[in-house]
């Protein structure tokens, strides 16, 4: 499966999602969003235990899967506790971790060589995606922040952060262009940012997030993980991946469905509840995938092109 075919598929899926956002009523958008998160969204992180175990085996270390699972559960529980007692700090850390994770997944395969400042660029690019989304729905976002943290944030703060991250990311684009990054890659990324801007300003907050999260993050991440675990990307590899992660995926899916049933008639709590749920599984997943991206970068013969470009 070559990179052009992957990119073409992601683009078609994005425009299909955009078309649905125009015609679907809000209730169906919410249901579709939970279905997307419950399937590909959760699935791309459901095999973290197996991926991490394989990573250590490739490094010559033997770690029991049971111990890894317990450690993973403790990390998730700890994040939930932090969100409960220190919601502001937890929310800021969640945004930073998510920004880095989105940026790393999207750019890791393209930024080869000795380019400087890649970790900061990952945070800035991922932050640009998030704050573009936040700015498009700034009134709803500040209400969600208030619901989670109890802090009132003026909407202009969202705009200033979006502007600041956008300028910083643009400067990085210029630096990487002069440093020799493929001009086609930069032009494609600028085009994609334009597409994301249209999607974010057309779809509801939750569906807009899901279109990016599932199509441009979760699916490419699944491809990377299949290549790492099984050496290729195929329906057979997908079946093996799904089979090995089924129990974890099913448990997460049931949790997501229960969350939807509890909050479907309380829209003001649905997105905050989903954010807290995603935060609890994001941080350990980011730590796992950082190791995997490092391995794929060091062994390019097993890489499928993490950002699907």
Q: Does the pLDDT value for residue 308 go beyond 50? A: no
Identify the weakest region by mean pLDDT among 27-36, 46-55, 160-169, 268-277: 268-277
Contact status, residue 309 vs residue 7, Cβ threshold 8 Å: yes
230: how many CB neighbours lie within 10 A of its CB? 17
Average pLDDT on 210-218 reads: 89
pLDDT for 207 equals 87
Q: pLDDT at position 306, please?
A: 39
pLDDT digits (tens, 9 = 90+) for 61-107: 666 667 777 777 787 788 878 877 888 888 898 899 889 989 988 88
Q: Lowest-pLDDT range, 32-46, 83-97, 202-216?
A: 32-46
Q: Tell me which of 26-30, 215-219, 302-306 is least confident.
A: 302-306
Which of 43-52, 231-240, 300-309 is the least confident region? 300-309
Determine the pLDDT at residue 24. Answer: 80
| pLDDT tens string 244-297 | 888 878 877 787 677 667 766 665 566 666 677 777 777 777 777 776 666 666
Q: Residue 305 has what pLDDT?
A: 37
Do the beta carbons of residue 108 and residue 54 sit within 8 Å? no
Nearest to 223 by CA among 88, 44, 34: 44
Residue 206 pLDDT greater than 80, yes or no: yes
Q: Would you state the pLDDT for residue 27?
A: 77
Per-residue pLDDT, 168: 95
Residue ranges of alpha helices (H) inside 41-86 are 42-46, 48-58, 65-85
Residue 180 phi/psi, 5-degree rounding, is: 105, 10
| 52 or 95, higher pLDDT | 95
Separation of alpha carbons 176 and 116, rounded Å: 9
Cα–Cα distance measured from residue 256 to residue 42, given in angstroms and rounded to the nearest whole number: 9
User: What percent of the chain is predicted at pLDDT more than 70?
Assistant: 83
- Tell me how far apart the alpha carbons of residues 244 and 201 are, in angstroms, rounded to a whole number: 38
- Residue indicated by tokens 């750019």: 107
Note the pLDDT of residue 109: 76
Q: What pLDDT is recorded for position 78?
A: 82
3-class DSSP state for residue 281?
A: helix
Lowest mean pLDDT among 15-24, 39-48, 137-146, 300-309: 300-309
Q: Which of 33, 54, 60 is nearest to 213 (CA)?
A: 33
Task: Determine the Cα–Cα distance for residues 157 and 152; give it in Å rounded to an integer.
Answer: 11
Q: What is the mean pLDDT of residues 156-173?
A: 95
User: 3-class SS at 220?
Assistant: helix
Q: Which of 28-37, 56-65, 139-148 has the lowest mean pLDDT?
A: 56-65
């Amino acid at each position: 499966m070559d990179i052009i075919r992957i990119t073409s598929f992601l683009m078609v899926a994005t425009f299909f999602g955009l078309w649905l956002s125009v015609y679907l009523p809000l209730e169906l958008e919410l249901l579709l969003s939970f279905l997307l998160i419950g399937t590909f969204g959760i699935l791309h992180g459901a095999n973290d235990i197996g991926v991490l175990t394989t990573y250590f085996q490739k490094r010559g270390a033997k770690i029991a899967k049971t111990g890894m699972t317990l450690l993973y559960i403790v990390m998730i529980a700890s994040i939930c506790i932090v969100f409960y007692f220190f919601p502001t700090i937890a929310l800021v850390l969640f945004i930073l971790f998510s920004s880095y994770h989105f940026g790393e997944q999207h750019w890791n395969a393209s930024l080869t060589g000795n380019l400087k400042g890649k970790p900061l660029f990952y945070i800035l690019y991922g932050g640009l995606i998030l704050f573009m989304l936040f700015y498009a729905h700034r009134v709803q976002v500040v209400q969600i922040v208030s619901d989670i943290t109890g802090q009132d944030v003026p909407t202009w703060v969202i705009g200033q952060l979006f502007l600041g991250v956008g300028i910083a990311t643009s400067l990085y684009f210029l630096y990487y262009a002069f440093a020799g990054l493929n001009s086609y890659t930069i032009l494609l990324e600028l085009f994609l940012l334009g597409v994301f801007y249209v999607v974010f300003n057309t779809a509801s907050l939750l569906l807009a997030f899901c279109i990016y999260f599932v199509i441009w993050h979760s699916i490419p991440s699944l491809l990377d993980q299949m290549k790492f675990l099984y050496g290729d990307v195929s329906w057979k590899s997908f079946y093996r991946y799904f089979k090995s992660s089924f129990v974890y995926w099913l448990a997460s899916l049931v949790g997501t469905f229960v969350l939807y049933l509890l909050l479907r008639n309380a829209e003001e709590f649905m997105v905050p509840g989903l954010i807290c749920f995603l935060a609890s599984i994001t941080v350990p997943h980011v730590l796992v995938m950082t190791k995997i991206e490092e391995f794929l970068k060091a062994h390019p013969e097993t890489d499928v092109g993490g950002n699907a470009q």
